[in-house]
């Protein structure tokens, strides 16, 4: 309880609509990592191909009704895992509950994500600066949960050319991005020591 109160006290508004909840998921980290293992057994994390032909350094899988995928033809949400031709694993209740609670904490009541992208960063993996704009409903926030190793998060503005801030994200940190910050450019610096996992909850469909 003291941990929870401490994390709530230090919640920080990063920008209009964006909230950092340090350590918000720390007490659930082991349970969340166990769920990621179960999801990974059903839908293995894989390094996907981007339209330009390159392979992402981050290995990805999904749970929920929809999953984010990329291949040579582009980015999209798919109800099935292209490797298996089967639906993605269901979103475990403790994941859905965490996303809903964190969104509520940040002022977004009634968040019901239909997609959870699971990112696995091994040492050396990174994610370049990008916007998340493949979702149907851009009025819903995105909730992001960092697990295991720390990373340096890159956070820009609404234009690619805007200045980029950098700050450390620890395992158990949660961020909520909605309102005017929903389309902010963001990324992750090359990981010094992995693995790190990240869950991003979206309303995609
Ligand atoms: C700001 N993942 O999967 S999470 C992604 O740590 C992604 O794996 C990173 O960017 C990761 O698309 C960063 C933080 C995050 C996620 C979504 C955002 C920040 C965001 C959407 C809008 C603005
Ligand atoms: Fe993103």
Kindly state if the Cβ of 142 falls inside 6 Å of ligand 1.
Answer: yes
Q: Look at residue 174 in the predicted model and tell me its pLDDT.
A: 98
Tens-place pLDDT, residues 71-90? 999 999 999 999 999 999 99
HSE value, Cβ hemisphere, 13 Å, CA-based, for 123? 2
Q: Look at residue 14 in the predicted model and tell me its pLDDT.
A: 86
Q: Which residue has the CA at smallest separation from atom 3 of ligand 1?
A: 200
Q: Look at residue 102 in the predicted model and tell me its pLDDT.
A: 98
| Average pLDDT in the chain | 95
DSSP string for 59-76 = EEEEESSBEEEEETTEEE
* Tokens standing for residue 138: 């851009």
Q: Look at residue 95 in the predicted model and tell me its pLDDT.
A: 98
Q: How far apart are CA 107 and CA 112, in angstroms?
A: 14
Q: Look at residue 110 in the predicted model and tell me its pLDDT.
A: 97
Residue-wise pLDDT tens for the chain (205 aa)? Answer: 556 655 555 788 888 899 999 999 999 999 999 999 999 999 999 999 999 999 999 999 999 999 999 999 999 999 999 999 999 999 999 999 999 999 999 999 999 999 999 999 999 999 999 999 999 999 999 999 999 999 999 999 999 999 999 999 999 999 999 999 999 999 999 999 999 999 999 999 9
Ligand 1 atom with least separation from CA of 184:
23
Compute CA distances 102 → 80, 123, 134, 154, whole Å. Answer: 27, 28, 22, 21
Helix, strand, coil percentages in the chain from 3-state DSSP, rounded to 5: 20, 35, 45
DSSP 8-state code for residue 196: E
Q: Look at residue 47 in the predicted model and tell me its pLDDT.
A: 98
Tens-place pLDDT, residues 145-166? 999 999 999 999 999 999 999 9
Q: Which CATH class is domain 2-202?
A: mainly beta
Kindly state if the Cβ of 120 falls inside 6 Å of ligand 1.
Answer: no
CB-based contact 44:92 (threshold 8 Å): no
Kindly state if the Cβ of 62 falls inside 6 Å of ligand 1.
Answer: no
Q: How far apart are CA 105 and CA 175, in angstroms?
A: 11
Kindly state if the Cβ of 132 falls inside 6 Å of ligand 1.
Answer: yes
Q: Which residue has the CA at smallest separation from atom 4 of ligand 1?
A: 144
Q: How far apart are CA 162 and CA 129, in angstroms?
A: 11
Q: Look at residue 6 in the predicted model and tell me its pLDDT.
A: 57
Burial string for 139-168 (b: 16+ CB within 10 Å, else e) reads: ebbbbbbbbbbebebbbbeeeeeeeeeeee
């Amino acid at each position: 309880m003291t941990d929870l109160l401490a994390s709530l006290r230090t919640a920080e508004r990063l920008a209009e609509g964006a909230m950092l909840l340090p350590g918000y998921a720390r007490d659930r980290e082991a349970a969340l990592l166990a769920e990621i293992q179960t999801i990974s057994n059903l839908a293995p994390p894989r390094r996907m191909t981007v339209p330009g032909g390159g392979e992402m350094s981050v290995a990805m899988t999904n749970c929920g009704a929809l999953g984010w995928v990329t291949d040579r033809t582009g980015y999209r949400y798919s109800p099935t895992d292209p490797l298996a031709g089967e639906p993605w694993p269901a979103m475990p209740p403790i994941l859905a509950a965490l996303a809903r609670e964190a969104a509520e904490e940040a002022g977004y009541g009634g968040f019901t994500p239909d997609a959870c992208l699971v990112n696995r960063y091994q040492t050396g993996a990174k994610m370049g600066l990008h916007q998340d704009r493949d979702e149907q409903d851009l009025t819903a926030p995105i909730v992001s949960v960092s697990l295991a190793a720390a990373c340096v998060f890159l956070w820009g503005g609404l234009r690619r050319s805007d200045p980029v801030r950098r700050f450390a994200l620890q395992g158990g940190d949660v961020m909520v991005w909605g309102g005017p910050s929903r389309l902010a450019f963001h990324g992750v610096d090359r990981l010094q020591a992995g693995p790190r996992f990240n869950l991003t909850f979206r309303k995609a469909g």
